[in-house]
Amino acid sequence: MSRWLTVWRAAHLVGVPRGVLQQRVRDGELPLSDGMVSTDALLRLYPQAQIEDGGLLERVVQIKDEAFGRRVRERILPSQEVLAQRLFRQSQELADLRRHLQCYHALVLELRDAMRAQFDAAPQDEGLRRLVAQASSGLARALATEPVDRLDVMDDMLKVMCAQVTVRPSGHQFSVEGHDTLLQAGLRAGLKLNYGCGNGTCGMCKVRVIDGEVARVQHTDYPLSEAEKAQGYTLMCAHTAASSELTLETLEAGGPQDIATQQIVTTVRQVRELAADTRLLHLQTPRTHRLRFLAGQSVTLGLSGGDSGSDDTHLTLPVASCPCDDRNLLFLIAREAGDAFSRQVFDGGLQPGASVDLWGPVGEFVLDSDERPLVFAACDLGFAPVKSLIEHALARDEAPSLSLFWLATRPDGHFMVNQCRAWSSALDGFEHHLAYHSDIAAGARQLAQAMRADLFDIACDFYLAGPEAFVHVLHDELRAAGVAAGQIRTEVL
């Protein structure tokens, strides 16, 4: 018997990105009814459906070393208390289903016996005879043993291992795995949730539980009023899903205008050489003051400890990491002889443990929609905001495909080529193209030609980041090719 699943859960069951299923829905290959897909239709598209390689079960079962396996299980599986609560609630659902089935069975038997009694009293009634025969044969078919739908079994197991959360009114969905809190899981899935400290103090991540149950997993200092508790409010940063399905009500950021400017004193964790003239700066925020930002946005870093812009040791840079990790912020620094901040980085003035002031975020270079294929184009350190956008798009898991075109104008311009290769190797829907040209404008035109040759389709969203000459030339090339202005986002660095 067919069951109805959300697109999110269906994608998990057959082991494909959610964006792939959504594209097949748009293409008419997978019927959608009230936002749900049937297991029958899913199996027709994926007849060999199995839990994907590296799925939740395999990641536990295939562990050979007992000690290492225990550590992995602690990360992948929810706590024993949460697991017990999910199993208990699933058992309740099964018990309710069994009770209903027994009631329906008794009702059908009662109706059949009543029809038989009437037929015995009036054996000449042909219509009544057919009803009795239909009731008997239908009951026999219902009681006959049928093969178990493997997707049903997988779905039941997935509900215990991995809870599904739906956010209202946006309709966004995300999964909660392991020991993650609701906030951690939501951010990892690319949602623009409202939050502040992340440790149960400020109350900014307060949400209302509409359906399902939550379990507290960490201490909170923020006091919810009795009225809030009665209405089902809770803190996302301190709770996880106790039921396999959970519906929350909260507002999400619609764009950069909804992200407040913050001032944070961060700590240098690492300065790592990526190439001769490029460094990776890793800053960490305090646990009680994380940076809330959108992928693609920038911040101002300063070494003076004073107001932003008060001296020449300040530098505005795009964040080169995903908002899902709001404590660990990565930045790409180029060697610039005339820049005081750059000199500090390259001359060893910034050592682990040093303090760096941060102001931000700022910028409009953010993902707008990922229903269409996404094409990213970067020149040199324009890779920083593009990297953040790509990681965010991968977390959202909605875009049908992602493509990266990266132009280098310096000898060490492709300083993170291994990251690009890793994305291409691990993801079926990702491809990258590397180009080199000493002239920025000529290189931009070369990149436009590569786009046309490799995958050019005007039904894509394009994100361009780099020097002004690169962005303007590539933008004009795309417009000349017929791409609508609303499908192009640019960031001049």
Q: Which residues pair with 329 in a beta bridge?
A: 283
CATH architecture label of 258-362: Beta Barrel (2.40)
Tell how strand 239-241 and strand 278-284 pair up: unpaired
- Predicted pLDDT of residue 283: 97
User: In this structure, is the dihedral angle defined by the CA atoms of residues 454, 457, 462 and 466, taken in order, positive or negative?
Assistant: positive
- 424 CB-near residues (< 8 Å, 6+ apart): 430, 431, 432
User: What's phi and psi for 337, nearest 5 deg?
Assistant: -60, -35
What kind of fold does domain 374-492 have according to CATH? Rossmann fold (3.40.50)
**Residue extents of the structural domains in the chain:** 1-49, 80-155, 162-249, 258-362, 374-492
Q: Report, as an integer, the average pLDDT of 455-461.
A: 72
d(CA 299, CA 381): 15
Q: What superfamily does domain 162-249 belong to in CATH?
A: Beta-grasp domain (3.10.20.30)
Residues 66-81 pLDDT 10s: 444 454 455 556 777 7
Omega prior to 361 cis, within 30 of 0? yes
Residues 230-278 pLDDT 10s: 999 999 999 999 888 899 999 888 899 999 999 999 999 999 999 999 9
DSSP, collapsed to helix, strand or coil, labels residue 170 as coil
Angle between helices 7-14 and 150-161 (to 10 degrees): 110
Please, is 157 exposed, middle or buried when counting C-beta atoms within 10 Å of its C-beta (0-12, 13-18, 19+)? Answer: middle
Residues 408-438 pLDDT 10s: 998 888 999 999 998 988 787 889 999 999 9
Residue 285: closest CA among 359, 225, 217: 359
d(CA 206, CA 198): 11
Omega prior to 169 cis, within 30 of 0? yes
- Predicted pLDDT of residue 49: 59
DSSP letter at 79? P
Q: Which residues pair with 330 in a beta bridge?
A: 282
Q: Report, as an integer, the average pLDDT of 122-133.
A: 80
User: What's phi and psi for 53, nearest 5 deg?
Assistant: -60, 135
- Predicted pLDDT of residue 99: 84
